[in-house]
Amino acid sequence: MNDALYIAATGMQAQQKSVDTIANNLANVNTPGFKRAKVSFEDLVYRGLQAAPASPGGVQGAALWQGSGVGIASLAKVFAAGEIRKTEQPLDLAIDGVGFVEVTASDGSAAFSRGGSLAIDRDGMLVSAEGYPLKPGIHVGVDASELTIRPDGRVLVRAPGQSEAGEVGRIDLVRFADTDGLVSLGGNLYRPSEKSGDAIHGKAGEDGMGRLAQGSVEASNVRLIDEMVGLMAAQRAYESSVKVIQAADEMLAMSNNLRK
């Protein structure tokens, strides 16, 4: 009887994590570049029970196995593309297709972003909105009067007094063998893991890489209808686990009352 209490408790814990994940997705429905998270469940280890007694004919009953409940198999990001929305801001950058932009994090390590709003720091370097410089570094100058980012990643700058823009660098893209293995750092940044594999570098628009869209941002890929349906399903599953605990508790109380 106690097994029912423990098994139902694992169900409540798993569904609570599912509700927490859905709540975070809904909270970031308007966050540019946000990728929704998805919880995957797995059944816990099975253990053998006492086999059924042998029949009069001497045939041994089949072994019995009982599960131990449910657990979290993974909590992964879903990298489905979001809608590309025009902003007409020259420092907004979206990736239309597969790929990430590499930046240098504050600790000097490499991190990867799906684009978003860029900025120019006091040294004239092109950086992310959080201040992380692009890798390789691109110097555009603090007095640039016109900045153009081509779909193939070439960055063109026209300085004051110049009649034509000149190329100052290129924004290359990277991709991964398994994006589900990327570790989210927050702020639209990710780091690779053993599951994702090493970064595969390439040029925008070539070898399966996406193209860059200046003056645009990628919207969140959260779909409100899907999240609300998932929220209702998680709530119903949570309630079912509560009912199991209540039923197990009532049966234990009945067993205790047999002595009276």
> Looking at the structure, do residues 205 and 92 belong to the same domain, yes or no?
yes
> Looking at the structure, do residues 102 and 191 belong to the same domain, yes or no?
yes
> Looking at the structure, do residues 139 and 97 belong to the same domain, yes or no?
yes
- pLDDT value at residue 74: 86
Domain region containing 15? 2-79+222-257
> Looking at the structure, do residues 34 and 51 belong to the same domain, yes or no?
yes
DSSP state of 81: P
Query: Using CB atoms within 10 A of its CB, is residue 216 exposed (0-12), middle (13-18) or buried (19+)?
Result: buried
pLDDT, averaged in runs of 10, over the chain (260 residues): 84 95 95 92 76 57 74 89 92 93 90 90 90 90 86 89 84 92 88 91 91 94 95 96 91 78
C-alpha distances out from residue 240 to 2, 75, 221, 233, 247, Å: 17, 23, 30, 11, 11
- Percent of the chain as helix, strand, coil, to the nearest 5: 25, 35, 45
> Looking at the structure, do residues 50 and 173 belong to the same domain, yes or no?
no
- pLDDT value at residue 211: 95
> Looking at the structure, do residues 176 and 109 belong to the same domain, yes or no?
yes
Positive or negative: CA dihedral 93, 94, 95, 101 = positive
Which residues on neighbouring strands pair with residue 50, listed in sequence order? none
> Looking at the structure, do residues 148 and 176 belong to the same domain, yes or no?
yes
pLDDT tens-digit series, residues 168-198? 899 999 999 999 889 888 888 999 999 899 9
> Looking at the structure, do residues 91 and 103 belong to the same domain, yes or no?
yes
> Looking at the structure, do residues 32 and 154 belong to the same domain, yes or no?
no
Q: How far apart are CA 255 and CA 87, in angstroms?
A: 68
* Number of domains forming the structure of the chain: 2
pLDDT tens-digit series, residues 149-168? 999 999 999 877 777 888 88
> Looking at the structure, do residues 125 and 228 belong to the same domain, yes or no?
no
- pLDDT value at residue 49: 63
> Looking at the structure, do residues 72 and 183 belong to the same domain, yes or no?
no
- pLDDT value at residue 48: 64
